[in-house]
Structure 1
């Protein structure tokens, strides 16, 4: 029997800063090669005498910096400050080379703009502007302090001070505009990427909801038949003489019938929320009656604080009712002895607040609010209460907020447009 070596996990992808550092290292190798070729061609091919020794020393320093960066960056995280320092070293090296080779009269003085563009793309905003200041200062010093370069008669040229000042002003203007527009474009791209990531997350959550809905709808169909059978059997038992003669058994049968009816109501609500026809027309009611019915139907004790003022006609939304019931269940499982539902209107928004005196939300639950199976409970299927409430409110055009109360317990605030529940004629 041949044994296969275990598969190794794929390497973790490098972050953007590390990839940018590797790109800068590659560009510096190209710069070193280009500068060396230019120095040799100008010095030996065009017979323009350059200070070869100090210029080669600058190239050697760049090579050493490149080797140290290449060997060191896998061992520590690359930061924005390191990228800025790398580009600053390149600006200093370019400035020294220009100082030794004619200053502002050197045609390669425009390479400062390359450093500005790379800084605008790779760095944070503050460091991009710092690089603009550094390159502007370096160009000014090079133009002012560089000694004249001895040129053959056919290459000799003289730049007037006014031209040099204009060259510097032109560079500063171009650098400022480049950084201004490139950073704006980069910010727009980051905003677009964040929006796309949020949309992908929402699509994944909605796909999860669809799968849950299919499973819940199938389970509701399968539960309908046994619940009906149990209801019939309980009706038969209630007619038995032995049960009618025993008040305790008769009360238990009545209680079981009530619980079976509650289960059938829940099953009907699941089918209704899944978009399946159950033979029931949409229920027209009022906002106060709708919320009061949810509180009355929950088996525990909930206090309803009515701040609605004038009552409004609505269509009962079973998904919203189920979301509130889930929040009540969560509060009870968190050990709450008092649960308060507060309802009020803020202009066109309905604000529902569920507050309790339980153990509150763990920090991890609040940090990932609205994600499925986000819970501190160990039982299977837990963590869907806030997830379903969040997505029900999102479907209705509303939002969900959750926090821990300073005095203890948790508080969940649901905001939704009242028009999403209003009757057709009043929309």
Structure 2
């Protein structure tokens, strides 16, 4: 049975991990595409500025119709790209590759009309190659290298040098050196700015992917625990039923009926047995039914009041303060999983502070916020740093630390959060926040929104 459970859990974890990787593949690519669009706007502005300076400042005649046509095509392509990628979030390697090919083609056309390899701005090819090395996979990068090399060779063979004015022919070497310096500064500045941004995007992508993998591992752990719990619940069903029958038979024995103390013990045993059966049923309900199928339609205040009453009556708490600050009640849908989550947090607080703890409930910014406060020793710094991770506990018992781990993951599934902090006066505060949209009841449809 254990082997089968682990196989199913591993398969579920692999599916979750693959889905997480697939979902995390594209955000960095989208940001990098936006960086390319910004770089293309800078290139367009730079081309206009360079054409104006060369034509008006140095009196060099350029084929303006052809160069402006290339510039218009580049601007039109960039406007189309901005509109497309503003709406669409997924970017593939092929799409980034095509965008860089357009930039290479535009640069090649402008260089062809402005002197070819005698134009110092031919070194801007290096910018395209380096950006491709950062953004693209290996085959795409080498393709860009081959294409830019072919373009440069083609410019050397087929382009013609610019016709310089007679009074500027003797100063051509100086103009070329000045152009090289400008090109170098431009290349260096753009590379520092954009490679830094692109690297930051890639680091953010890697961090998010690592977080998703961690979540997938935690969810796999939860799947395994759920399977083990449901299996144990099924196994406990038979002995609990047998004990119930035996206790019922004992009540029918005349000799035992005369013993009042023994009858009281049998009654208490039947009560506790019934509680065990209820717990087992709750485990099976949580493990075997999806949210919504085992849900209860109620209101926030009613749910919390009943939860507090049940928890207080079944725990040996000395002093428990419950404050419900929710003034505007709301129809909601709660299930047994969420109820058990709150129980787990309260149980942890009770173990740390058996003399006193409190629960405060409030609505804040469209969320339900629960503050559970105790007067215990508080969380150790290393536990706060790893809050919500499995087996992070100061109790020193096998399996400790799973209560908060499950609370964090159940809340995260609903779009909420669980945070913890220590109080300056001593003790700890655990804050559970759930968006009301995740639990609110759509009265027209009769289910959670």
**TM-score interval for Structure 1 and Structure 2 normalised by the shorter chain:** 0.5 to 0.7
CA displacement at 1:326 relative to structure 2:
1.3
Matched, 1:275 2:288: yes
Distance 1:244 1:287 in 2: 46
Match of 1:256 among 247, 250, 269: 269
CA displacement at 1:293 relative to structure 2:
2.3
Mapping for residues 11-90 of structure 1, pairs under 5 Å: none
**Residues 337 and 358 of structure 1 are in contact (CA less than 8 Å); yes or no, is this contact kept in structure 2?**
no
**Residues 295 and 336 of structure 2 are in contact (CA less than 8 Å); yes or no, is this contact kept in structure 1?**
no
Normalising by structure 1, we get a TM-score of: 0.58
In the TM superposition, what whole-angstrom CA distance separates every residue of 1:266-323 from its partner, at most 9, and x where no partner exists?
211211111249xx96433332222222222222233321111133333331111111
Distance 2:281 2:442 in 1: 23
**Residues 343 and 351 of structure 1 are in contact (CA less than 8 Å); yes or no, is this contact kept in structure 2?**
yes
The 1:253–1:295 alpha-carbon spacing in structure 2 relative to 1, beyond 3 Å, is farther
Match of 1:320 among 320, 323, 338: 338
In the TM superposition, what whole-angstrom CA distance separates every residue of 1:364-413 from its partner, at most 9, and x where no partner exists?
22111121112222221111011000111011111110111111111111
In the TM superposition, what whole-angstrom CA distance separates every residue of 1:101-142 from its partner, at most 9, and x where no partner exists?
xxxxxx9xx8xx89xx79x98xxxxxxxxxxxxxxxxxxxxx
The 1:303–1:239 alpha-carbon spacing in structure 2 relative to 1, beyond 3 Å, is farther
Mapping for residues 349-388 of structure 1, pairs under 5 Å: 349-388=367-406
Distance 2:431 2:406 in 1: 14
- Quick check: which one's helix share is greater? 2
Q: Which has the higher mean CA deviation after the structures are superposed, 157-166 or 298-307?
A: 157-166
Say which SS state the counterpart of residue 443 (structure 2) adopts. helix
- Of structures 1 and 2, the larger Rg is shown by 1
Match of 1:417 in 2: 435
CA displacement at 1:160 relative to structure 2:
5.4
Match of 2:206 in 1: 193
Bigger relative contact order (CA 8 A; separation at least 6): 2
In the TM superposition, what whole-angstrom CA distance separates every residue of 1:164-204 from its partner, at most 9, and x where no partner exists?
44432332122101111111111111111111111111111
**Residues 294 and 336 of structure 2 are in contact (CA less than 8 Å); yes or no, is this contact kept in structure 1?**
no
Distance 1:360 1:238 in 2: 48
Match of 1:329 in 2: 347
Match of 2:409 in 1: 391
Mapping for residues 117-196 of structure 1, pairs under 5 Å: 161=174, 163-196=176-209
**Residues 285 and 294 of structure 2 are in contact (CA less than 8 Å); yes or no, is this contact kept in structure 1?**
no
Match of 1:348 in 2: 366
Mapping for residues 188-337 of structure 1, pairs under 5 Å: 188-238=201-251, 248-276=261-289, 282-298=295-311, 299-300=314-315, 301=317, 302-337=320-355
The 1:239–1:335 alpha-carbon spacing in structure 2 relative to 1, beyond 3 Å, is farther
Q: Would you say how many aligned residue pairs link Structure 1 and Structure 2?
A: 278
Root mean square deviation, CA, Å:
3.0
**Residues 317 and 421 of structure 1 are in contact (CA less than 8 Å); yes or no, is this contact kept in structure 2?**
no
The 1:370–1:238 alpha-carbon spacing in structure 2 relative to 1, beyond 3 Å, is same
The 1:379–1:297 alpha-carbon spacing in structure 2 relative to 1, beyond 3 Å, is same
The 1:233–1:413 alpha-carbon spacing in structure 2 relative to 1, beyond 3 Å, is same
Say which SS state the counterpart of residue 358 (structure 2) adopts. strand
Q: Which has the higher mean CA deviation after the structures are superposed, 414-423 or 228-237?
A: 228-237
Say which SS state the counterpart of residue 274 (structure 1) adopts. helix
**Residues 366 and 436 of structure 2 are in contact (CA less than 8 Å); yes or no, is this contact kept in structure 1?**
yes
Q: Which has the higher mean CA deviation after the structures are superposed, 242-251 or 267-276?
A: 242-251
Distance 1:242 1:360 in 2: 54
Distance 1:284 1:163 in 2: 79
CA displacement at 1:158 relative to structure 2:
8.1
Normalising by structure 2, we get a TM-score of: 0.56
Distance 1:235 1:342 in 2: 43
The 1:165–1:197 alpha-carbon spacing in structure 2 relative to 1, beyond 3 Å, is same
Distance 1:281 1:413 in 2: 26
Distance 2:210 2:352 in 1: 33
Say which SS state the counterpart of residue 337 (structure 2) adopts. helix
Note the residue ranges of structure 1 that are not aligned, 5 or more in a row: 1-106, 122-156
Distance 1:345 1:239 in 2: 53
